[in-house]
Structure 1
Amino acid sequence: MLPAPRADLVSNTLEYETTPLVKATGFREYDARWVFEKEINLLGIQALGLGLGTLIREMGKDPRIVVGHDFRGYSASIKQALTVGLMSAGIEVNDIGLALSPIAYFAQFDLDIPCVAMVTASHNENGWTGVKMGVEKPLTFGPDEMGRLKEIVLNGEGKSHDGGAYKYVEGMRERYIDDIASGVSIKRKLKVIAACGNGTAGAFAPEALSRLGVEVIPMDANLDHTFPRYNPNPEDMEMLHAMQAAVKEHGADVSLGFDGDGDRCGVVDDEGEEIFADKIGVLIARDLSALHKNAQFVVDVKSTGLFMTDPVLVENSARTEYWKTGHSYIKRKSHEMNALAGFEKSGHFFFNNPVGRGYDDGLVAAIALLQMLDRNPDKKLSDLRKSLPKTWQSPTMSPHCADETKYGVVEKVVATLSERKEIIGQKVRDVVTVNGIRITAEDGTWGLIRASSNKPELVVVIESPTSEENMKAMFTELDAVLKTQPEVGEYNQKI
């Protein structure tokens, strides 16, 4: 049995090599993420596997699991340590090797295995690692499951059990690509940039898109876990700017950008304009709601207000519910409501039948976008963008705030802003506190402050349907509130 984990170990010591290091803050709302070697060591990962296996048995689930890993210099060793822990808990491990997160989710269906553990730091910078977990396809863990897992691991409650086994599953890459490309044929002549940021998607996205019949220009598709150009995150302006340059250089119809584990998709149109994922969601919702009347959608609180007011969605009798930000939350809510699709501003897209299986998949989202263009042969993507009512949006901005303090800071901010009767010189129209606070002025200008679910940061997003000046004014007012909190640090990017 492993010793109980500790959070205060120093590397290059005897204790570090004989005791699990697990920092408590790595257990987040719906997945687990740590800075490898500083916040968790390999024995800590092994303890996590033992704890996850214990939880699987505690929940009465079939003790079989799919495991995969993303392309980072240390991810294979992380997966191996996790596998040892899972096997010691009596779990049959089915290893699909190098994979995207959606391939791990696909494998649950393809292999008829209930549980999944995908080793990935997603879009986090190098040095981070983590695990996305679930025991009921297509869902992943939420706060309840993560809270219980945290208790089991940190309290040393992991239990050894007979029956552990290991199987390496061959051919999952080909089966996945065949699955998403099957029955999809794009008739329209399209030139598509596949931007991969040297992350895992480079091994999958160019080939998958090519099978649809479009011309694909791979961009940073060679795997390189040092991420030499930029971090593979299609929400970061650095990656979006590179995608813009590629569109203009090649005269492409669209650039599709994928994050480090391929469950998100970012978009730049034929004119080199980035279209934030929530606006892409509105366009796809328009397209799908024309095919499926009275369609239900779920979007996160970071997303544009157009889901409620867009005239095409209104005409198509589409209904939209705003919910908590986070892939696990939107996925679960979409599943519970049997929504046709769920959208997150970060670029997670969730499609239920008949489009998808309910989990987030950047390539399935890309295919839905290309099919939309195929159904509109006389319109460029820029034409579709321009058909949307004009709004002024900020990028997602993230000031640093330690994991230990960020939720307390948000509570104070919510208390302060909830008392406001006016903002940007207007009456406050409504306040939503389902996830941080989203405060809306009379003209529809809104601002959001929430705690990041996966990094030591806050999240700030602004949108105005009336003017850039009001968008900036809202940011100025929210930023002034944040400046009263000494725990809040520098932004990663600002308007």
Structure 2
Amino acid sequence: MSRPPLTDFVKAYDVRGLVPEQLDVDAAWSLGAAFAEVVAVREAARAVVIGHDMRDSSPELSRAFARGVTSRGVDVIEIGLASTDGLYYASGSLDLPGAMFTASHNPAAYNGIKLCRAGARPVGQDTGLAEIRDLAQELLDGSAEIRAIEPEGTVRVQDVLADYGTFLRSLVDLSAIRPLKVVVDAGNGMGGHTVPAVLGTAAGLPELPLQIVPLFFELDGSFPNHEANPLDPKNLLDLQAAVVAEGADLGLAFDGDADRCFVVDERGGAVSPSAITGMIARREIGKERAAGRLASDVAIVHNAITSAQVPEIIAAEGARAVRTRVGHSFIKAQMAEHEAVFGGEHSAHYYFRDFWFADTGMLAAMHVLAALGEQDGPLSELMADYSAYVASGEINSTVSDAAAATEKVRAWAADHEVTEDTLDGLTLTHAGSGGDAMWWLNLRASNTEPLLRLNVEAADTETMERVRDDVLAIVRGEGR
């Protein structure tokens, strides 16, 4: 059977494929050698730092990648088991390019690689990944003319877990908050490794006023309890039930590689990532103001489908809201351009200037713990200030012609006094007039599937549901 081309599973922002049908040790070796040539050698990096998650295939694949790197005369620092943001910490603090072996929330049959330059700067399709893929393919095919390197690079092991925890604690001090009881669902992913180290004492750090109630902390890449994808509401059910049963102050759910964090309040209610974005934005603006910086000089980045309340909160604080397309490459680029202190996405990716502009679910969780622990009220009451509007969540529809369906929605909107923008798909905004409440919608075509993704938000539930249902009827061929 012929080998599938790397173009089948080297995506726009990372590598993600079936093991071993697509991603095997030979592919990993070739990608490691190509990464070393395209990134490490050109940027005179002395080494590449490599981490991996708990999937059964991760150790073997990461070692094969390391052999590819060392074959190019570049050293390797292996940090072993890590969350993706733990790898970003290592890349940033050591100022080295890095590779993280994980397929995040994908099923057990998958694995993948997230790559970054020194300082956790992203590597994507337009920033080196396509060149890495093409060179790796030539290496696999035996067609690349690549010079022999002597001596080969060396491999050493370095544990950065305690340093990672210490660094995060330096950014958000939890030592003086009121005692909190926290249920954490790690989904058998890397949160089971990092939470005890950062929020507990497993890595030798001082005890915090937190009582952690663990759910599914056993590292198991077969995900025996539920998918490690908290964006799907069904995967929050265990956490929501446990928070209520334990009488906990809140719940936290991490995805498979623990770079995303979702929050549940004391009643078991899911807290919108947009609400978390607004809350952290306010905290980061306040931090900058306390350091003597003018709020007007502070920028916060958010994507096109976060709640309309996010830019409203930022503006009320006197700071600048920067709206950009969905996706980490766009968020990170805009954060760097505007020197933004923070960025948030509807998918619970949270990015911090003080974390090399990279995303970290753990630091976002610590902000939530600090905000709750610095006052006496429950989380539901605290987050009510950040939940003014009603959102549909993202709804996918299979369509044969996304452009035609989008044009039908645009025509429908002509009767509704809307403003339009096309920054990321089609966004239509009705400011609220003539007895109709404020609403907006975004319709985006998937880059990889025949899907249209709809998000609707409104000032009240009735308006949201009406707009949602009207648009879905059009998109799915049931309307005019």
Which TM-score band (shorter chain)? 0.7 to 0.9
Structure 1 residue 229: Cα displacement? 1.5
Does 2:211 align with 1:215? yes
Paired residue for 2:380, among 382, 398, 417?
Answer: 382
8 Å CA contact 1:206–1:218 kept in 2: the answer is no
| Structure 1 stretches lacking a partner, 5+ long | 1-9, 485-495
Report what 1:300 is aligned to. Answer: 303
Give distance in 1, aligned partners of 2:187 and 2:451.
Answer: 24
Secondary structure of the structure 1 residue equivalent to 2:417: strand
User: 2:90 — aligned with what?
Assistant: 107
Q: Deviations over 1:105-128 (max 9, x none)?
A: 111233332x11111101122212
CA 1:47–1:413 in structure 2 vs 1: closer, same or farther (change >3 Å)? farther
Q: Pick from 180, 202, 205: which aligns with 1:190? A: 180
TM alignment of 1:288-437, pairs within 5 A: 288-291=284-287, 292=289, 293-294=295-296, 295-310=298-313, 313-353=314-354, 356-375=355-374, 377-388=375-386, 390-398=388-396, 417=409, 419-420=410-411, 422=413, 426-431=416-421, 433-437=422-426
The farther-off stretch of 179-188 and 242-251 is 179-188
| Residues 131, 379 of structure 1: alpha-carbon distance in 2 compared, 3 angstrom cutoff | same
Shift of 1:316: 1.5
Which letter does structure 1 place at the counterpart of 2:189?
Answer: G
Query: Matched residue of 2:119: which SS?
Result: coil
8 Å Cα contact 1:206-1:217 kept in structure 2:
no
* Displacement of 1:394: 2.5
Aligned twin of 1:447:
441
Residues 387-408 of structure 1, C-alpha deviations (whole Å, 9 max, x = no match): 235211123344579xxx9xxx
Aligned partner of 1:438 in structure 2 is 427
Cα drift, residue 261 of structure 1: 0.8
| Distance of 1:300 and 1:255 partners within structure 2 | 25
Equivalent residue for 1:139?
121
Preserved CA contact (<8 Å) 1:90 1:160: no
Q: Name the SS of the counterpart of 2:302 in structure 1.
A: strand
Aligned equivalents of 1:451 and 1:90: distance in 2?
43
State the Cα deviation string for residues 136-166 of structure 1 (Å, max 9, x = none). Answer: 3132113312232233233444735414323
Q: Aligned partners of 1:264 and 1:29: how far apart in 2?
A: 19
- Partner of residue 270, structure 2: 274
TM-score by length of 2: 0.86
Change in Cα spacing, 1:361 to 1:458, as seen in structure 2 (3 Å) is: farther
Amino acid at match of 2:442: L
**Cα RMSD after superposing both structures:** 2.7
Look up the match of 2:466: 473
Instruction: Name structure 2 gaps, 5 residues minimum.
Output: 201-206, 290-294, 433-437
One-letter amino acid matched to 2:125: P
How far apart, in 2, do the equivalents of 1:394 and 1:452 lie? Answer: 18
1:411, 1:161 → 2: CA distance?
50
Identity %: 27
Asked if residue 116 in structure 1 is aligned to residue 105 in structure 2, the reply is: no
- Which residue of 2 is the match for residue 62 of structure 1? 45
Give 1:159's aligned residue.
146
Q: 1:326 to 1:458 in 2, by over 3 A?
A: farther
Distance 1:97 1:261 in 2: 13
SS in 1 for 2:22: coil
Q: 2:69, 2:153 within 8 Å by CA — same for their partners in 1?
A: no
Does 1:36 pair with 2:32?
no
For residues 257 and 116 of structure 2, the distance between their equivalents in structure 1, rounded to whole angstroms, comes to 16
How many residues are treated as equivalent by the alignment? 452
